[in-house]
Structure 1
Amino acid sequence: MTTMTKPASLAMAAALIAGAALAQEASFSATDANGDGVVTLSEFQAAFPEATAEQFAAADGDGDGALTAAEFATL
């Protein structure tokens, strides 16, 4: 890589990573139907009808029946 294309490539990679993070946040916000900051099993299955309770439980790290944004990001 030339000295000019390396910084441009790094900037593009950073933009793509940031875009993915923003998309994940938008997806969490859209799934959190009542806006209480967590996603319940019913909200999860309403947004993703093909999803199973087992998938939800696997992501629910603390087992409280609700996914935080961090837990949701593991899906």
Structure 2
Amino acid sequence: MTDVVDADELLRRIQRGRERAADEERAWRERAQSLTATDPDGAREAADRARAYEAVQLVLAEIVNPGAAPPTMDGVRQVT
């Protein structure tokens, strides 16, 4: 793959990646909540996957806006 992209296209790709990671995080968090009562192991795995997508979002946010306050989910930063 030898495509050359300009800065604007790179920024668009990073933003799409952030949006996708946010969607995936949200889906895995919902799954974790729905599995909590019936499948604790599955809920833990889903929560781990959600945290992985959260980490992706944080890294991409730092690339786009270095040194800024980290993005929050629903206005509250979750520390785990």
Greater share of helix: 2
Q: Which has the higher contact order (CA 8 A, sep 6+)?
A: 2
Larger Rg: 1
Scaled by the length of structure 2, the TM-score of the pair is 0.43
Scaled by the length of structure 1, the TM-score of the pair is 0.46
